[in-house]
């Protein structure tokens, strides 16, 4: 049975953050979640995460995931290092299992590579296989030292390397596959006799090698997969690569992205075929977008569900539902719990909040629809305000099917406009409007003849 041990106890000092490093997000998803998901996708169903610094927060953030947490004790009285981290899960290591070691701070590693690492490990009958890559600038990484025949000999940390070793460009990714029995055996032999005074997992390799066990390296071509995040600069770099991957995935599935370098789609977003996305779109969280939509420039959609054939321009949509063939924007704002039926128009500078709107209704310009249930075929004129707040509490407004709300009216909630009700422009409505009737609630116009002449303006 394959298992993984994911190392995530380090402090991440260089992030200069109050948040544990592995919880920092890349394209909307915590780094560690990529590792867990990809490990599972590679067929590893037992995943142990070693936590330490900020461990409780990591545990809370992953309470919904099927993983087991192991606490690495942290403090001056305890050893430190990747070897000590792996030891925290030693009781779970079965003799005959393949144990994959992953790092919580290398979010770009793919399930395909993890799978290939395990396959190479099995095929070569290794006891340890290291995932390696060539880097133009290997500074900071452990170097892969090979003998004259090119066989893996040992891994030397940057801080422990001599000048010759520092010139080696093949580096240790920090990802390995071990045979359970031999990993446990060698873990008991590592010591902290090195520049950092830490227990290094990398020493397991040289110990096994010296004792005649077969060890090997699996070299990946795409070195970006093993990039680690130790700083905010590296976080942004990994975000860029992940963004390119996500955008490519959608394009390969039939979505047109006009400018993939200026389109920000988070990891969990789903998009249907023939949808076109313009620059500056930011699609976040658990958002779903249907087929044949146009997501126009500078549109932010978060945790929302958008139907088919919807067009949205320069607008913001949060935690809302939009059904087929709606037209939104430019400059509209759907705040949480807005539910739009089909074929609705929400136009310039219209804000909707915690409201439902029925099919074929329109609010084309400058309106606020808050805490309302609006029926079908309703016209909300320019400048209409649903006055939902009395300074203490919010109240609801009901506008039934086929009603017409004239421009610049106020509907003072709680209030109802019944079917086919017609509110005259400029009215302030405080009482129910009867079915099929006209409500006028404004001062009558008076014309004072000759007033201007008399004033001598």
Alpha carbon 120 to chain centroid, angstroms: 32
Using CB atoms within 10 Å of the CB of residue 94, give its burial: 0 to 12 exposed, 13 to 18 middle, 19+ buried.
middle
Q: Are 152 and 144 in contact (CB under 8 A)?
A: yes
10 binds ligand UD1 (CB under 6 A): yes
Minimum distance from residue 105 beta carbon to Ca ion (Å): 5
Whether 365 is catalytic is yes
* The one segment of 82-90, 185-193, 293-301, 373-381 that binds ligand UD1 by CB under 6 A: 82-90
Peptide bond into 330 cis (omega under 30): yes
Q: State the binding string over 217-256 for Ca ion (x if CB under 5 A, else -).
A: -----------x----------------------------
Smallest distance from the beta carbon of 305 to ligand UD1, in angstroms?
Answer: 36
> Out of Ca ion, ligand UD1, none, which partner does residue 171 contact, by CB within 5 to 8 A per kind?
ligand UD1
Cα 255 to Cα 247: distance, rounded to the nearest angstrom: 9
CA distance 295 to 323: 14
Token duo for residue 172 = 């240790």
Residue number with CB closer to ligand UD1 (28 or 142): 142
Q: How far is the CB of 35 from ligand UD1 (least distance, A)?
A: 9
Q: Pattern 227-246, binding to ligand UD1, x per CB under 6 A? A: -x------------------
Tally Cβ neighbours within 10 Å of residue 127: 25
Distance CA 223, CA 226 (A): 6
The two three-digit tokens of residue 424, written as one number: 């005259």
Q: How far is the CB of 112 from ligand UD1 (least distance, A)?
A: 19
Neighbouring residues of 26: CB distance < 8 A, sequence distance ≥ 6: 34, 107, 229, 235, 238, 239, 242, 267
The one catalytic residue in 158, 365, 395, 431 is 365
Residue 142 within binding range of ligand UD1, rule CB under 6 A: yes
Pick from Ca ion, ligand UD1, none: which does 302 bind, CB < 5 to 8 A by kind?
A: none
- Residues lying near Ca ion in the complex (CB under 5 A): 228
- Residues lying near ligand UD1 in the complex (CB under 6 A): 7-10, 50, 52, 72, 80-82, 84-85, 103-105, 141-142, 155, 157, 171-174, 200-202, 228
Q: Which residues does the annotation mark as catalytic? A: 365
């Amino acid at each position: 049975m394959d298992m993984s041990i994911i190392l995530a106890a380090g402090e991440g000092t260089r992030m200069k953050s109050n948040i544990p490093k592995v919880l920092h997000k890349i394209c909307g998803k915590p780094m560690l979640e990529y590792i867990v998901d990809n490990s599972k996708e590679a067929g590893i169903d037992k995943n142990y995460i070693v936590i330490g610094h900020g461990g409780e927060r990591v545990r809370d953030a992953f309470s919904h995931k099927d993983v087991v947490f192991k606490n690495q004790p942290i403090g001056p009285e305890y050893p430190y290092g990747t070897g000590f981290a792996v030891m925290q899960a030693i009781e779970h290591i079965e003799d005959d299992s393949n144990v994959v070691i992953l790092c919580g701070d290398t979010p770009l590693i793919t399930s395909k590579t993890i799978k290939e690492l395990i396959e190479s490990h099995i095929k070569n009958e290794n006891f340890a296989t290291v995932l390696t890559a060539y880097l133009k600038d290997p500074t900071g990484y452990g170097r892969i030292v090979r003998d004259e025949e090119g066989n893996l000999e040992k891994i030397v940390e940057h801080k422990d390397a001599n000048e010759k070793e520092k010139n080696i460009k093949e580096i240790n990714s920090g990802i390995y596959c071990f045979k359970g029995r031999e990993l446990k055996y060698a873990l008991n032999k590592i010591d902290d006799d090195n520049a950092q005074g830490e227990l290094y997992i990398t020493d397991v390799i040289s110990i096994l090698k010296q004792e005649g066990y077969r060890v090997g390296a699996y070299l990946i071509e795409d070195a970006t997969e093993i990039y680690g995040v130790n700083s905010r600069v590296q976080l942004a770099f990994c975000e860029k690569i992940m963004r390119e991957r996500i955008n490519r995935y959608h394009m390969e599935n039939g979505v047109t992205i006009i400018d993939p370098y200026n389109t920000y789609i988070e990891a969990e977003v789903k998009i249907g075929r023939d949808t076109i996305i313009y620059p500056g779109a930011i699609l976040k969280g658990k958002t779903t977008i249907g087929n044949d939509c146009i997501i126009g420039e500078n549109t932010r959609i978060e945790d929302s569900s958008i139907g088919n054939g919807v067009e949205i321009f320069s607008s913001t949509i949060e935690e809302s539902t939009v059904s087929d063939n709606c037209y939104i924007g430019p400059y509209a704002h759907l705040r949480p719990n807005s539910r739009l039926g089909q074929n609705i128009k929400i136009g310039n500078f219209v804000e909707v909040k915690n409201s439902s709107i029925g099919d074929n209704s329109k609010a084309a310009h400058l309106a606020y629809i808050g805490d309302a249930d609006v029926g079908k075929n309703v016209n909300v004129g320019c400048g209409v305000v649903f006055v939902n707040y009395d300074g203490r509490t919010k109240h609801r407004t009901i506008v039934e099917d086929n009603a017409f709300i004239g421009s610049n009216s106020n509907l003072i909630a709680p209030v109802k406009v019944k079917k086919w009700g017609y509110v005259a422009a400029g009215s302030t409505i405080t009482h129910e409007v009867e079915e099929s009737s006209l409500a006028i609630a404004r001062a009558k116009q008076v014309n004072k003849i000759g007033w201007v002449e008399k004033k001598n303006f």
